[in-house]
Structure 1
Amino acid sequence: MVFDDLHRVINTYWTQFLYLLPKLGVALLLLIIAVFVANRLSRLIGGRLHGQSHDPLLAEFLTRLIKWALLLVGLMLCLQVLGMTGVVSGMVAGAGLTAFVVGFALKDIAENFLAGVVLAFNRPFRIHDTIQIKDNKELMGRVETLNLRTTLIKTFDGRHIYLPNALVLREALINFTRDGFIRPDFQVAVDIGPDGSSERVQQQIMEVVRAAPDVIDEPQHRPYITLDKAEGTVLTLHVYFWTSSEDYRRGVLELKSELMQAVRQHLGKQGYPKPATVS
């Protein structure tokens, strides 16, 4: 008796499977076509967006968004072919409720996605810009890409940091390279001796700074020196100079180090009582 019932149930399911088999085949074919079309169209649209847009970050974000939207449409078509129109109708009719439930259950994911949309259109940074979050040196690097959930930056020591978009949007963001110019600075403490001249030592330091090929010397971006303090014959000078911010590491960190060493060596050769302290 039990085996008869089991046989009858198996036959029923097998009959239903044979009935759905053609629809499954069509649905699978539609799914494959949907994936193919989504990849092709997103690549085509993405290529045009990249070609016409001056912001590759926004173009890449919109390309991914279009691809996922096309895949969702293809999935809904597959469900309709399988006769699950009620499921599709329920998905559409319950979109508001679903959004509420998903938003509550996956609050962080939804928040980061919406933050990514805002960042893509607001554009506080571009690809390869050097940024810093929350005035934290550990969260400083070059922007590599903006994803649907995270912003990827690469630090100067080669680490990749995936920052949640909500964090990037919510916290203070410093963009070091957007303007195209940046003004680094350093201090020089030098003993000019009893017969020394402040103007003379500033002139010698300025000659070293202006001789550097990466230092910009134009009307709106000229290097200059200020006197911070004077204690006896020891002067503490503050040196400011402008350079291109396109490559932050080269334009600021390496150039600043080279200038500091060059200034110290030059003042030492000029015969000052003791080597200058540069910081």
Structure 2
Amino acid sequence: MFTDLQRVLNTYWQQFLYISPKLLIALVVLILAIFVANHLSSLLGGKLRAKSHDPLMADFLTRFSRWALILAGLVLAMEVVGLYAIVGGLVAGAGLSAFIVGFALKDIAENFLAGVVLAFNRPFRIHDTVQIKDLVGKVEDLSLRVTLIKTFDGKHIFLPNAMVLREPLINFTRDGYIRQDFLVTIDLGATGDSEHAAALLLNYLRANPKVESKDPHTPYVILEKASANAADLRAYFWAFSEDYRRGTLELKSELMRDVKARLAEQGYTVQTVAQ
């Protein structure tokens, strides 16, 4: 028994001594590949960021080139050791194993390909405010597998790229301007003059320097509903949307808060101001 064990151990030791030079060379190849990948991708990323106006694309291509070079080095190291042919033969010869590996990597491959599509299609840029399903936030990063969204309450959401590509995506800031609206219900009193009230509301919107007033982004007011003594006026205005929360949401809140006092100064009673 001990003789057999000694013979087996001696066989393994001889095999290790035989393959150890190849392992050493493969390790050196892999380390060099990682070193070259890091430096070349950093050099490429610096040039892309300097010449490109799209940091999202530059960052994605930098990561892609780094992992591609590392993968090439890993394949070369496996070829040196002789494992590449062995692993390839096992995967090609075992249908069940190939199916299991393919199924396990399905989501990774899907998200990677979706990331490539998003990087080149560019439905958003870094710091754009987007909505995917019920999630609204700013785009912070696009990696090979996930898109990072930061919500307005400070949460970081990592969305699979395949989901971002598959779901309808609303970009609030791509155009640079976004239109908002709110409803003002006014008690007309005995005059019943809704046109005068609409004109006052429109002048108030135009007087605010934060409201865009150049074509085609001009404010306007429509009469949505009228009764004998009341009128529903809907005000539409455009705002600069680069900072969606401050440039749009806070401006809308400011207008809704102040419109009641402004119209009251002209003798109108504002019943409600709503979205």
Q: Do they superpose with TM above 0.5? A: yes
Q: In 1, distance between residues paired with 2:237 and 2:180?
A: 6
Aligned to 1:165: 161
Alignment of 1:143-182 (within 5 A): 143-182=139-178
Q: In 1, distance between residues paired with 2:90 and 2:231?
A: 74
Partner of 1:215, secondary structure, is: coil
Judged with a 3 Å threshold, the aligned counterparts in structure 2 of structure 1 residues 230 and 109 are, in CA distance, closer, same or farther, namely: same
Distance apart, 1:103 and its partner CA:
3.8
Quote the RMSD (CA, aligned, Å). 2.4
Q: In 2, distance between residues paired with 1:181 and 1:175?
A: 11
Structure 1: give runs of 5+ residues left out of the alignment: none
Deviates more, 1:43-52 or 1:12-21: 12-21
Deviates more, 1:4-13 or 1:241-250: 4-13
Partner of 1:216, secondary structure, is: coil
Q: In 2, distance between residues paired with 1:89 and 1:228?
A: 69
Q: In 2, distance between residues paired with 1:178 and 1:208?
A: 27
8 Å CA contact 1:141–1:156 kept in 2: the answer is yes
Q: Which amino acid aligns with 1:54?
A: H
8 Å CA contact 2:192–2:230 kept in 1: the answer is no
8 Å CA contact 2:33–2:69 kept in 1: the answer is yes
Distance apart, 1:165 and its partner CA:
1.6
Distance apart, 1:236 and its partner CA:
0.7
Structure 2: give runs of 5+ residues left out of the alignment: none
Q: Which amino acid aligns with 2:203?
A: E
Q: In 2, distance between residues paired with 1:30 and 1:238?
A: 68
Distance apart, 1:212 and its partner CA:
2.2
Aligned to 2:68: 69
Judged with a 3 Å threshold, the aligned counterparts in structure 2 of structure 1 residues 125 and 100 are, in CA distance, closer, same or farther, namely: farther
Q: In 1, distance between residues paired with 2:202 and 2:97?
A: 66
Alignment of 1:1-279 (within 5 A): 2-84=1-83, 86-87=85-86, 90=89, 102-134=101-133, 136=134, 139-195=135-191, 197-272=193-268, 274-279=269-274
Q: Which amino acid aligns with 1:49?
A: L
8 Å CA contact 1:76–1:88 kept in 2: the answer is no
8 Å CA contact 1:116–1:148 kept in 2: the answer is yes
Judged with a 3 Å threshold, the aligned counterparts in structure 2 of structure 1 residues 169 and 91 are, in CA distance, closer, same or farther, namely: farther
Partner of 1:158, secondary structure, is: coil
8 Å CA contact 2:92–2:98 kept in 1: the answer is no
8 Å CA contact 1:58–1:120 kept in 2: the answer is yes
Q: Which amino acid aligns with 1:56?
A: P
Partner of 1:193, secondary structure, is: coil
Q: Deviations over 1:163-208 (max 9, x none)?
A: 2222221222111111111110101001121135323322322232
Distance apart, 1:144 and its partner CA:
1.1
Task: State percent identity of aligned pairs.
Answer: 62
Distance apart, 1:23 and its partner CA:
2.8
8 Å CA contact 2:192–2:228 kept in 1: the answer is no
Q: In 1, distance between residues paired with 2:32 and 2:91?
A: 23
The aligned length equals 272
Q: Which amino acid aligns with 1:184?
A: Q
8 Å CA contact 1:103–1:110 kept in 2: the answer is no
Q: Deviations over 1:86-141 (max 9, x none)?
A: 337759989xx99876443432222222211111111111111111124x3xx111
Q: In 2, distance between residues paired with 1:4 and 1:203?
A: 105
Q: Deviations over 1:63-99 (max 9, x none)?
A: 21111111111112212332446337759989xx998
Distance apart, 1:276 and its partner CA:
3.8
Partner of 2:157, secondary structure, is: strand
Distance apart, 1:222 and its partner CA:
0.9
